A and B are shown apart, each in its own frame.
Chain A
């Protein structure tokens, strides 16, 4: 997507007024609700609310589950992205569409689909239960699975785009110099798409951290085991809105810190 050299070298154009107005409205649309949250935050009781064991358990579980989901998302998603970017085989576009479907599927429906597949009476779940005694619903593993299901498509899409836009002549050169396919992948391809890998991982992690619908449907809601922070926020809204707001802010602060930090460190140059 490189711009022609002419337009790049031209002096920066003055922004047209409608663009400035609309961009301002767009930014305000995101920022004003956050200000609303901040203004309503009960700072005085913040320490007390956040120190409660249930809140700490939810935060701990959220971090564990979102990072696990990101790890699984990378382990399975990167090979998938490579397959879509580099191989042609019949039905590729259909399979590709199916693997990114969770991005548009209502998460609750995703949760029901997971139950029908991995639940006690599900397609694979009944076999897992009788053969190995593995039960996924109502477990932390189930929560990680639900988050992975919803978040992994971000890895697939981002890394596939990176692989497609990358200059494959580097790979060809490495191969002609005698590097094995595995070495080319490890030493040439993956380093070249590192910005896409990082961006995909960050998006995947952020999506997993905020996941609600699939998790509550597939894994249920039990403090310490499957109650991640978004679930705790949702239930706290019923009885203790102050705790819900504080918990949301913590979630926000953590993700903002990670997004800003990673962007400057890894993506700033690209």
Chain B
């Protein structure tokens, strides 16, 4: 019984070791083969999935797997030893945490920018056209919580516009704000332009003019403990070059 258990543990350890050790050495010595894991902010889900497919077409021997999540959650996971090759954050603050912890292999580079937009029900039934409209008392407005980047940016935009909004709720992430508006529970919210684009026909965006709009920078970097640094670098270069067109299609702007 115990012998079996020990054998199983040894086997698991061996598999783990094999995975870690074998990944960089692929059949193709140029490095554009093997597998990489990319941790990316959830707002990148659609765009990065598309970029991943294009990247695989350009590098037929390569495999890209994604871990999407809130930037701060991903940072916490990487700090706790999650093994990955690349990290793409939705803000500079979270990338800075990894930099401070010495967990990046290179200086991060900004590969995309995102803008805030107001989101309302399709057809804009409440006729919302500016940030000032959000302070109307009979409106149900939901924002992101101040703890998450979209909430920070929204608070800054409202502050700059000198508008006071009493939100009905401070949601934990952008998708929650969007779904509250899509379900008709809220009349308006402030989210990223890319989220409005991804949300489909049930909602529409109302743009916020540039002086009040806050721009979110998206930095990317290869991680220090990347099992396949060569392919990771190739992926980052791809995002900064060919990937830009795909990102634009999903509502991001080039830095």
Contacts and interface: CB of A to CB of B under 8 A. Distances in A.
A221 B145 contact: yes
Interface centre among B76, B147, B179 (most CB of A within 10 A): B147
Nearest to B152: A239
Given A138-B140, A238-B147, A121 B184 contact: yes
A43 interface: no
B53 interface: no
B168 interface: yes
B217 interface: no
Interface string B154-185: 00000000000001111110001001100111
B37 interface: no
A221 B171 contact: yes
Interface in B59-115: 70, 72, 76
A229 interface: no
A220 B147 contact: no
Secondary structure dominating the interface of B: loop
A198 B57 CA distance: 61
Interface residues of B, number: 21
A138 B1 contact: no
B180 A220 contact: yes
B169 A238 contact: no
Given A235-B147, A238-B72, A239-B147, A220 B171 contact: yes
Contacts of A223: 170
B46 interface: no
A18 B1 contact: yes
Contacts of B179: 112
A234 B185 contact: no
Contact of B185 (A115, A222, A231): A115
Contacts of A237: 72, 76
Given A119-B183, A216-B176, A222 B1 contact: no
Interface in A95-124: 112, 115-116, 119-121
Interface string A126-141: 0000000000011000
B70 to A, nearest CB: 8
Contacts of B234: none
A134 B5 CA distance: 59
Given A221-B169, A234-B172, A119 B147 contact: no
A253 to B, nearest CB: 24
Contacts of A235: 145, 147-148, 172
Contact of A119 (B1, B76, B170, B185): B185
B184 A138 contact: no
Interface of A: 18, 112, 115-116, 119-121, 137-138, 216-217, 219-223, 226-227, 231, 234-239
Interface of B: 1, 70, 72, 76, 140, 142, 145, 147-148, 167-172, 176, 179-180, 183-185
13 contacts: A119-B183, A121-B183, A138-B142, A138-B169, A220-B142, A220-B169, A220-B180, A221-B169, A221-B170, A222-B167, A235-B148, A238-B147, A238-B148
